[in-house]
Amino acid sequence: MANIVIGVTGGIAAYKAIDLTSKLIQAGHAVRVVLTGNALEFVTPLAFQAISRNHVYTDTFKEEDPSVISHINIGEWADIIVVTPVTANTIGKLANGIYDNMLLNVLAANTKPVIMAPAMNVHMYNQPAVSRNIQTLMGEGYHFIDAESGFLACGYNAKGRMANVPEIKAYIEDLLSTDRSLAGKKVLVTAGPTRESIDPIRYLTNHSSGKMGYAIAEAAASRGAEVVLVSGPVNLTSPGNVERISVESTQDMFEAVKGHLDADIGIFTAAVSDFTPATVHGSKMKKTQDNDELTIELKKTPDILKYAGSHTDGMFVVGFAAETDNVREYAAGKLEKKNADCIVMNDVSNKEIGMNSDDNEVTMLFKDGHEQQFPKMDKQTLGIQIIETLVKRWNA
């Protein structure tokens, strides 16, 4: 069992941290809680003290034990720190090196993994400054559990609600159980859509959000891997400790992938275009009154997964089959035709687990006949599960 520090900041979701504390205690973990001054407007130290059976920390200058400096001792005691909820204010301060309360001082003196579970109004969540600050912290190795869409305290029904307690607990325990089994190994991940230009204004693309690939890249990095993420155009923050190569077209992605075929594991989640315009117009195509229809000639793009499957000796090659019909048939065929070691299949006709959704439900088909099914869950948690399964099968 682990020593877990829970930090609570000033948001209405602070009450959920009481439930998280209870769940972790029930699971056998030791928990200490740090509340910011603003958190005290929503919850009381007594509630956490009664559940954790530990002193609750609220003030940097209130030293209950003269033999230690509390904000340093707490971090040394912890195996992991979880800030839930974390507000835009705390994210901004931490990203810019401002440590003006007990929790921020604990984080400043900390060397252990930190998980952040944001909760705020949707417009606050989408503020460029908040996105920049989150990206900064992720680049420094902080883990973020993405906020959910749902009913918010402000009355909006949108993204910004803190992730649910079971999801946070699962993420904590998955991170604690990480055995650095990919340390010294290289993992190549492709993610997102590609854009195939028609002219300087228009392009062909698809609905891929890149969320699945980014979750997998983060999970691989958390196990100690050197991760190269080749990403099409997405609106996502790069995971911490990951080298991101941004590309536009399938050809761009193909060239980037060819430079990293020395990877131990290649996971090709990107929804690449199978065809691209045969001719890219140098100026904007104009519609005319004489033409009610427009024909665009297309040509095939490079088959990145098939190339990786036939041009690498040591790489464990994993592809994705996002299908709408005859899902298993097409996925099994792809496993053979692409010379892959594994295909992850999912039915994207179901909008709840399709492209651009926060959740997914997949089945992993392996070349040796083994199958691994995963029920519907958020993509971040699923990324952890997929990496764990791949490590076991790869080692086997």
Residue 319 vs residue 27, higher pLDDT: 319
pLDDT at site 178: 60
CA pseudo-torsion sign 42, 46, 51, 55: positive
pLDDT at site 179: 61
Residue-range definition of the domain harbouring residue 354:
186-395
φ/ψ bin of 349: left (φ > 0), alpha (ψ from -120 to 50), beta (otherwise)? alpha
Looking at the structure of the chain, the number of domains it has is 2
Query: Do 65 and 200 have their domain in common?
Result: no
For the record, the structure tokens of 189 come out as: 């991940």
Q: Which of 133, 158, 177 is the last residue of a domain?
A: 177
Catalytic residues: 154
Query: Do 52 and 109 have their domain in common?
Result: yes
Query: Do 18 and 81 have their domain in common?
Result: yes
Residue 309 CB coordination number (10 Å): 21
Query: Do 45 and 93 have their domain in common?
Result: yes
Query: Do 27 and 92 have their domain in common?
Result: yes
CB contact at 8 A, 387 and 269 = no
Residue 203 CB coordination number (10 Å): 18
For residue 89, the domain's CATH number is: 3.40.50.1950
Query: Do 100 and 137 have their domain in common?
Result: yes
Q: Which of 177, 209, 231 is the last residue of a domain?
A: 177
Three-state DSSP state, 287: coil
For the record, the structure tokens of 371 come out as: 């199958």
pLDDT one-digit tens code per residue, 315-360: 999 999 888 888 888 899 999 999 999 999 988 888 777 787 888 8
pLDDT at site 59: 92
CB contact at 8 A, 85 and 11 = yes
On the question of pLDDT at 197 being above 70, the answer is: yes
On the question of pLDDT at 388 being above 80, the answer is: yes
Query: Do 348 and 314 have their domain in common?
Result: yes
pLDDT at site 289: 67
By percentage, how much of the chain surpasses pLDDT 90? Answer: 59
Q: Which of these ranges, 193-197, 261-265, 273-277, 288-292, has the smallest mean pLDDT?
A: 288-292
Query: Do 128 and 244 have their domain in common?
Result: no
Short-list 232, 229, 217, 362, CA closest to 301: 232
Q: Which of 115, 149, 177 is the last residue of a domain?
A: 177
Mean per-residue pLDDT, 177-189:
84
Query: Do 213 and 82 have their domain in common?
Result: no
pLDDT one-digit tens code per residue, 52-102: 999 999 999 888 778 788 889 998 899 899 999 999 999 999 999 999 999
Q: Which of these ranges, 109-113, 194-198, 307-311, 352-356, has the smallest mean pLDDT?
A: 352-356
Q: What is the C-alpha separation between 165 and 215, in angstroms, rounded?
A: 19
List strand residue ranges (DSSP E) for 101-231, in order: 114-118, 143-144, 148-151, 157-161, 186-191, 196-197, 203-204, 226-231
Query: Do 327 and 271 have their domain in common?
Result: yes
pLDDT at site 396: 65
For residue 336, the domain's CATH number is: 3.40.50.10300
Q: What is the C-alpha separation between 226 and 337, in angstroms, rounded?
A: 28
Query: Do 114 and 207 have their domain in common?
Result: no
List strand residue ranges (DSSP E) for 49-137, in order: 56-57, 80-86, 114-118
pLDDT at site 5: 97
Query: Do 81 and 225 have their domain in common?
Result: no
Q: What is the C-alpha separation between 389 and 396, in angstroms, rounded?
A: 11
Give the chain's mean pLDDT: 90
pLDDT one-digit tens code per residue, 226-282: 999 999 999 988 887 899 999 999 999 999 999 999 999 999 999 999 999 999 999
Mean per-residue pLDDT, 278-304:
87
Overall size of the chain counted in residues: 396
